[in-house]
Amino acid sequence: MIKIPEKIIFANLPTRIEKLERLSQKLGGPNIYIKRDDQTGTEVSGNKIRKLEFSVKEALNQGCDVLITCGGIQSNHCRATAAVASRLGMKSVLVLRGDSETELDGNLFIDKLLGAEIQFITPEQYKNSKAQIMEEIKGKLEKQGFKPYIIPEGASNGIGGFGYYNAMEEIIFQEKEMGVHFDKIVLAVGSGGTHSGLLLASKTLEYTGEIYGINVCDDAQHFKNEIYKILQESMKYIDVNLHISKDEIHIMDGYVGRGYALSRPEELSFVHDFAKLEGIILDPVYTGKAMYGLVEEIKKGSFENCENILFIHTGGAFGLFPQKHLFKL
């Protein structure tokens, strides 16, 4: 039995797995199920809290009192980090890609409500020097007597990946409870940590289903490299050296659309139709694009040999509100 690092408990776990009866019927198969990681909490809702449970435990073990992280202006991860920090009586500093003049809505509004200190940077700065900027903030805080801990984008690193190692254990247990086996597990990929954790667990636990990511930014090769890097980091924590090649990292490219956090009319229409069909809210940045991609791939016959598919709902509902004017309701 592999011993993984300790975590702090914040998320409401285990999250339910539900069958999407009407969508499955509409497509004529396979059976599509959804794991409701959008229901991990309220302030901390979504997939990020699973990863933060491990990252923040490491921060506490090191005696840290400030969490520094980064993301887009509507980052679910940054909002969850701010919530955890406040809950623990810690300070949070968020480095957000965007403009300080942006309307206070969605996750940004909640960041402010939770008391996070926010530093806005340009897209160019974010792309080229976000790590350096966070290190500079850390240095300034240390001079003030604080002990900061930096969490990378999406908590997608070696320690954060164990959040979805845990989730894979949960899925295997739920399969036995439900009497079903998932041929494929499909999820949105935005920074790689969720995919990495699932893949590492599937290998160590000898799970026979395959993990498929649908990227919402960049391209397949970028994420193969990122996920591979996170896997190597995670293996150092458990002293395991599995041979996982990049060819085993499955990314279904082609659904980035206009780019990260930018929506096409057909994606928004799909989010609306899905909500009416199944009574479940997807978000426009991650799950909307990924579920749209999954449905399109099923229509193309990419999953014709599958009986059961599990889609991981990674949350993000707060990100709907800044895009509400784009929906034709």
Instruction: Give the pLDDT confidence of 38-92 residue by residue, as tens digits.
Output: 999 999 999 999 999 999 999 999 999 999 999 999 999 999 999 999 999 999 9
**Whole-angstrom Cα distance, residue 219 to residue 217?**
6
Question: Domain check: are 28 and 101 in the same one?
Answer: no
Pairing relation of β-strands 308-313 and 66-72? unpaired
Contact (Cβ atoms closer than 8 angstroms) between residue 92 and residue 113: no
Whether 8 is in a domain gets the answer no
Catalytic residue among 24, 45, 55, 75: 75
Contact (Cβ atoms closer than 8 angstroms) between residue 290 and residue 187: yes
Q: The domain spanning residue 126 has which CATH number?
A: 3.40.50.1100
Question: Domain check: are 162 and 301 in the same one?
Answer: yes
Tokens of 209: 């289903």
Question: Domain check: are 149 and 192 in the same one?
Answer: no
Whether 239 is in a domain gets the answer yes
Whether 7 is in a domain gets the answer no
Contact (Cβ atoms closer than 8 angstroms) between residue 211 and residue 173: no
Q: What pLDDT sits at residue 240?
A: 83
For the chain, report the end-to-end CA distance as a whole number of angstroms.
Answer: 51
In the chain, the number of structural domains is: 2
Task: State which of 93, 121, 155 marks the end of a domain.
Answer: 155
Whether 6 is in a domain gets the answer no
Check: pTM over 0.95? Answer yes or no: yes
**Whole-angstrom Cα distance, residue 181 to residue 306?**
10
Question: Domain check: are 166 and 225 in the same one?
Answer: yes
Place of tokens 């009192």: 65
Range of the domain at 118: 48-155
**Whole-angstrom Cα distance, residue 296 to residue 302?**
9
Q: For 223-251, write each residue's pLDDT tens digit.
A: 999 999 999 999 999 988 789 999 999 99
Minimal CA–CA distance to 16: which of 213, 178, 186?
178
**Does 129 participate in catalysis according to the annotation?**
no
